[in-house]
Amino acid sequence: MKQVLEVLKEQFKYAPMIFRIARYEDKATYQSHYLGLAWQILNPLIQVAIYYFVFGFAMSGQSGIAGASYIEWMLAGIIPWFFISAVILQGANSIFNKIHMVSKMKFPMSVMPSITIVSNLTSYITMMVIFFALLFVKGAPVSMYWIQFFYYFVAMIAFLFSVTLLNATISVLVRDYYVMLQSVMRVLFYVSGVVWNLDTKLPAWVVDLLKLNPIVYILKGFRESFVGNKGFWQEPSYTIYFWLITLVCLYVGSVLHMKFRERFVDYL
């Protein structure tokens, strides 16, 4: 528990630096592009259009929820997926890519996953604004369940920090881990119900098995908030399971990180 508290303390202590570095990295990534930071929005929009064409038109995708169109249902899940996928993959390499720089500075390496999360927030927030605009144009009724967005957003950030801290530490110790993680994320795109409804396509026992993936909890939660009208308190056991997984990842990640971070350079 001491390691967990130390890691969390570093996040709050260096919060201003986290936001400054995240803004700098965003600008540095796209400084040689004519459209600059606009690519943070254009890339996901292009992918949304492709997935909607393939699964919405070519494969006649349905939301499986009364009163909700496929595009509304898909956006409610695919926007957080883009954010989750980008943070997990970029975050897994966050320490490895910057280890030579931060090892020479008074700079806690535990904040590297947080920098990755913050740097991807611009794209996520902009895409959510577009999603809300779509709901407004289509005349979707405002529901009290929309307030759940804030709960699931916090849950998503907590989960991503915990998992990314763990992944970033393991990726330094075992470089094959990152390659494996890339393959795992490709598989998770399809088995997490990002573009097709698990409940309407698979047997109940298979759905229950796939729901062990905590990402499903997050995607399902966002969809239930905006197009499903269902509260997270209606599945208390599933909510408890999600937070247990998150806390376990945070604990294991913190312990490993604090144990090995003084010797990270030795593993390069």
Write down the pLDDT at residue 55: 60
Write down the pLDDT at residue 65: 59
Write down the pLDDT at residue 58: 43
Q: Which domain holds residue 85?
A: 2-267
The domain tally of the chain equals 1
Residue segments in the chain with a per-residue pLDDT below the cut of 70: 26-40, 51-68, 100-105, 201, 265-268
Write down the pLDDT at residue 83: 94
Write down the pLDDT at residue 127: 86
Q: What does the chain come to in residues?
A: 268
pTM, entire model:
0.88
List b or e across 215-252, with b for residues whose CB sees 16 or more CB atoms inside 10 angstroms: bbbbbbbbbbbbbbbbebeebeebbeebeebbeebbbb
Write down the pLDDT at residue 183: 92
Write down the pLDDT at residue 156: 96
